[in-house]
Amino acid sequence: MSLIENVVQFRVRYSETDQMGTFYNSRVLEWFECGRTELMRKMGLPYTAMEAKGVFLPLVEAHVEYLGRARYDDLLEMTASANLEGRARLRCQVRITHAANGPAVARGYTIHAFTNRDGKPVRPPAWFIEALYSHLAP
Amino acid sequence: MSLIENVVQFRVRYSETDQMGTFYNSRVLEWFECGRTELMRKMGLPYTAMEAKGVFLPLVEAHVEYLGRARYDDLLEMTASANLEGRARLRCQVRITHAANGPAVARGYTIHAFTNRDGKPVRPPAWFIEALYSHLAP
Amino acid sequence: MSLIENVVQFRVRYSETDQMGTFYNSRVLEWFECGRTELMRKMGLPYTAMEAKGVFLPLVEAHVEYLGRARYDDLLEMTASANLEGRARLRCQVRITHAANGPAVARGYTIHAFTNRDGKPVRPPAWFIEALYSHLAP
Amino acid sequence: MSLIENVVQFRVRYSETDQMGTFYNSRVLEWFECGRTELMRKMGLPYTAMEAKGVFLPLVEAHVEYLGRARYDDLLEMTASANLEGRARLRCQVRITHAANGPAVARGYTIHAFTNRDGKPVRPPAWFIEALYSHLAP
């Protein structure tokens, strides 16, 4: 089954470098967030719209493998995809390379709960599932 | 008139360095925030307590002068003081040096409005003014 | 005299918000850096090329006025311009509004020294001045 | 076998919160770094000393489980431990709770390569292994 997928390009900011001359490790999780944001926009369901409907996607797990260096101003390419995992988890898979199709930089995933504004778990809404898998419709 | 003042020490985090090998410029504003947090705790009025009372202190202006380098793990010393400016502004003055009384690193100030939760301006509460100037009491 | 100027658009990242629901104050300085990066690319003199030539532009001063709120995923527009100040300083002026020509978000400036790799002051190189003012050529 | 272990306390900065009102997810990796820094100081081998000897510990993998909320100014407690993994990897295990021994906030690990300044893999130096396991000496 093919997952919904989205590709974005971005440049490494100077603020994202550290004294080793490459990006600081935690920045990858901020980039993953940008990947999710644009993936959800492509699904027709911007994350702002979700929060406005009272559904939040806090992280329950994150995993990153660091595969290569990237320096200030390097142009990177990030591919994000998503699928449901179990009954009540969203899994976002992300990989980052140098553009275009250059050497690998990082890959990993984040796993998200569905909650209401107070952090209480909720079931994934039907409209979310529909948006997530609509590209599979015949 | 002497202002209320507080001193804290902290170390430069690796995440706060950039490829020039010193701290990234925006980090100073995060440090200033730590200086304000501890200053307000000393005033007997933690900022969490203020927000719980519905009073917020958003920045309206920030100014930083960069005076010297500081590297990863360097031990720095930050002195923060505060006073009212005009009728409805709080001014926090901060200076950062290498510990103890070492070379200067940065100095500057932030100017804050008093607002309610919705961002509407309010007058500085009497209990705030009292806490700010109580050390001057005879 | 008209200065060289460049406009970029960008979205507020979730990582850039704070518990007040708007962008955290120090993030403006990171955005200013993005504005400078693209301005220098437009000058035909990417900052990576400058550092490769051994010329650095560390901040000596930064100033920000906070003019309005911006929330996660808001599309913002940033205009950056630059000019020499005195004999050996670069001044970058930046303003940020909601796109397009929407309400003001922030404005300010950064002032930069010209240094070599070791942080020693150098004179602004002729090729830099030429790139900065070439758009004024008849 | 008991690993070398170190505990530090710290407060959540305002800059580390996001609009959900808790800490932003990537901040945990910055905190893990602070945990490693203090663990290595306890080992008698500050990371600055390692880099000065030409040995670097870039991340090759990071994993975080998010276990509970923490708000601005909350006092947290972080326990870090480390051991060699295989022939040429360092594994740092970290857990964060509310102080003291309060509810869990996050746990995870980072895995590090040993490299020289140019990013080429090197064997873990004997002085490093000695410092790591010296507390086990009879």
Q: List the beta bridge partners of residue A111.
A: A61, A91
Q: Per-residue pLDDT averaged across C34-62, rounded? A: 96
Q: How many Å from the N-terminal Cα to the C-terminal Cα in chain A? A: 13
**Interior/surface letters C29-41, b for 16+ CB within 10 angstroms, e for the rest:** bbbbbbbbbbbbb
Domain ranges of chain B: 4-136
Q: What is the DSSP letter of C125?
A: P
Contact assignment for B58 to C20 by CB distance below 8 Å? yes
B3 has a pLDDT exceeding 90: no
- A17-70 pLDDT, tens digit each: 999 999 999 999 999 999 999 999 999 999 999 999 999 999 999 999 999 999
The per-residue pLDDT for A1 is: 55
Separation in Å, CA of C138 to nearest CA in chain B: 37
CA separation for the pair A109, A91 (Å, rounded):
7
For chain C, give the percent of residues with pLDDT over 90: 88
Asked if C12 contacts C70 with a C-beta cutoff of 8 angstroms, the reply is yes
Output the DSSP codes for D3-32. PEEEEEEEE--GGGB-TTSSB-TTHHHHHH
Q: What is the DSSP letter of A121?
A: B
B1 has a pLDDT exceeding 60: no
Within 8 A by CB and 6+ apart from D120, the residues are: none
Chains in contact with D via at least 3 Cβ–Cβ pairs below 8 Å = A, B, C
Q: Which residues in chain D have Cβ-Cβ distances shorter than 8 Å to A25?
A: 29, 33, 59, 62, 110
CA separation for the pair A135, A39 (Å, rounded):
13
Q: Per-residue pLDDT averaged across A80-102, rounded? A: 95
Per-chain mean pLDDT for chain A:
95
C137 has a pLDDT exceeding 70: no
CA separation for the pair A60, C15 (Å, rounded):
16
Intervals of chain D under pLDDT 50: none
pLDDT-derived band at A106, boundaries 50, 70, 90: very high
CA separation for the pair A29, A106 (Å, rounded):
10
Q: Is A115 on the interface with B (CB under 8 A)?
A: no
Q: Per-residue pLDDT averaged across A75-85, rounded? A: 97
Preceding peptide of B100 cis, ω within 30°:
yes
Contact assignment for C62 to B66 by CB distance below 8 Å? yes
Q: Which residues in chain A have Cβ-Cβ distances shorter than 8 Å to C13?
A: 30, 33-34, 37
Q: Is A29 on the interface with D (CB under 8 A)?
A: yes
Residue window 55-84, chain D: list those with CB within 8 Å of chain A: 56, 58-66, 69
The per-residue pLDDT for B138 is: 58
C4 has a pLDDT exceeding 60: yes
Q: Per-residue pLDDT averaged across B55-78, rounded? A: 97
| Facing A13 at nearest CB: one of C34, C48, C72 | C34
pLDDT-derived band at C3, boundaries 50, 70, 90: confident
Separation in Å, CA of A12 to nearest CA in chain B: 12
pLDDT-derived band at A14, boundaries 50, 70, 90: very high
Q: Is C15 on the interface with D (CB under 8 A)?
A: yes
| Facing A26 at nearest CB: one of D26, D69, D119 | D26
Q: Which residues in chain D have Cβ-Cβ distances shorter than 8 Å to C24?
A: 14-15
Please name which of B68, B66, B115 lies closest in space to residue C63, comparing C-alpha atoms. Answer: B66
pLDDT-derived band at C131, boundaries 50, 70, 90: very high
Q: Is C30 on the interface with D (CB under 8 A)?
A: no
Please name which of C79, C83, C126, C87 lies closest in space to residue C104, comparing C-alpha atoms. Answer: C79
Report the range of poorest mean pLDDT among A74-78, C6-10, C100-104. Answer: C100-104
Architecture per CATH, domain D4-136, reads as: Roll (3.10)
| Facing D59 at nearest CB: one of A25, A33, A59 | A25
Q: What are phi and psi of B27, to 5 degrees?
A: -60, -30
A93 has a pLDDT exceeding 80: yes
B107 has a pLDDT exceeding 90: yes
Q: What are phi and psi of A9, to 5 degrees?
A: -115, 150
Output the DSSP codes for D87-100. TTEEEEEEEEEETT
Q: Which residues in chain A have Cβ-Cβ distances shorter than 8 Å to C70?
A: none
Q: What are phi and psi of B79, to 5 degrees?
A: -110, 120
